[in-house]
């Protein structure tokens, strides 16, 4: 679990310099912030008007965040995404980062009823290769084992985001739970539950928590651009419903096909 890092200067040593004292944004997050900032500034120059002004302002904030490594919001909340190594501490002292702290992040909770058998819906979702077909921002999922996978996702303003994920809990036909691993561009964790729906079919419920690139600023920018994960997930679940209800035969054939036939 990621927690804020507080450093005190031992007696007889110098206090952190101006840069070290202000650094509270990790290397990966700085790169994402700077990339998104440049993309938003370019968007603002083309768009003009109020959306352009909002984009220019947000782009400037993200560029400052990426180039300086400092986030005023992080400072106000007393937290940091910079690793201990980035703050000049030894590798031995670094703690392993978990996905998202319980008191942090943006929460998404969406559900849909699909008029197909529970095991069939679960099997489609459990084959992670299927997910780019129904999740519009997921470009690619590379599965390396039954529990580990690598994700490439298109974020706000077209910025590509990547992370490794691991399945940490699974009940056949009922539950898939995951979390991102160390070094994720977007730290996230969540679960998908499958249950019989009242009146027939299967209820699919997706719950996730994530730390957006560039923190709360990034989340606000995504909403301005119409790309908030809550909106995305709602639309993605509707695509999943359509895939399994209206193209059920093709979907089931794909799930049941041998790996070399896919």
Are 115 and 63 found together in one domain?
no
Are 112 and 65 found together in one domain?
no
Q: What is the pLDDT of residues 201-240, one digit of tens each?
A: 999 999 998 876 655 555 555 555 555 677 889 999 999 9
Residue 212 token pair: 């957006």
Are 191 and 222 found together in one domain?
yes
Are 116 and 231 found together in one domain?
yes
Q: Is this model's pTM higher than 0.85 or not?
A: no
Residues of the chain with pLDDT under 70: 1-28, 30-31, 33-34, 37-38, 40-41, 44-46, 49-57, 59-61, 63-105, 156-157, 212-228, 248-262
Are 56 and 119 found together in one domain?
no
Are 138 and 219 found together in one domain?
yes
Separation of alpha carbons 230 and 210, rounded Å = 11
Distances in Å between the Cα of 192 and the Cα atoms of 148, 175, 203, 205, 208 are 16, 6, 10, 6, 9
Residue 179: domain span: 106-261
How many structural domains is the chain composed of? 2
pLDDT at 239: 95
Question: In the listed set 89, 120, 136, which residue is the last one of a domain according to the structure?
Answer: 89
DSSP per residue over the chain, as a string? Answer: --------PPTTSPPP-HHHHH--S-HHHHHHHHHHHHHHHHHHHHH-HHHHHHHHHHHHHHHHHHHH---HHHHHHT---S-TTTTT--GGGPPPP-S--TTSSEEEEEEEEESS-HHHHHHHHHSGGGHHHH-TTEEEEEE-SSSEEEEEEE-GGG-EEEEEEEEEEEETTTEEEEEE-TT-SS-EEEEEEEEEPTTSSEEEEEEEEE--TTHHHHHHHHHHTT--HHHHHHHHHHHHHHHHHHSHHHHHHHHHS-GGG-
Are 239 and 140 found together in one domain?
yes
Separation of alpha carbons 105 and 187, rounded Å = 9
pLDDT at 63: 61
Radius of gyration from C-alpha coordinates of the chain: 21
């Amino acid at each position: 679990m990621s927690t804020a890092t507080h450093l005190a200067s031992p007696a007889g040593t110098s206090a952190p310099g101006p840069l070290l004292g202000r650094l509270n944004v990790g290397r990966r997050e700085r790169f994402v912030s700077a990339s998104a900032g440049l993309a938003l500034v370019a968007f603002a120059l083309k768009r003009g008007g109020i959306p352009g002004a909002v984009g220019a302002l947000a782009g400037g904030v993200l560029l400052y965040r990426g180039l300086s490594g400092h986030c005023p919001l992080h400072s106000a909340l007393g937290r940091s995404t910079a690793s201990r190594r980035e703050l000049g501490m030894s590798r031995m002292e670094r703690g392993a980062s978990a996905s998202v702290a319980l008191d942090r992040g943006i929460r998404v909770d969406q559900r849909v009823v699909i008029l197909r058998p529970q095991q069939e819906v679960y099997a489609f979702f459990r084959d992670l290769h299927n997910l780019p077909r129904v999740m519009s921002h997921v470009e690619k999922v590379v599965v390396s084992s039954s529990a580990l996978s690598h994700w490439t996702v298109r974020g706000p303003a077209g910025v590509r985001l990547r992370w490794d994920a691991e399945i940490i809990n699974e009940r056949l036909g009922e539950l898939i739970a995951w979390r991102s691993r160390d070094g994720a561009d977007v730290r996230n964790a969540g679960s998908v539950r499958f249950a019989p729906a009242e009146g027939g079919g299967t209820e699919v419920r997706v719950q996730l928590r994530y730390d957006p690139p560039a923190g709360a600023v990034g989340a606000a920018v995504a909403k301005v651009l119409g790309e908030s994960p809550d909106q995305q997930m709602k639309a993605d679940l509707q695509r999943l419903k359509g895939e399994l209800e209206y193209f059920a035969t093709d979907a089931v054939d794909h799930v049941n096909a041998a790996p070399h036939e896919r």
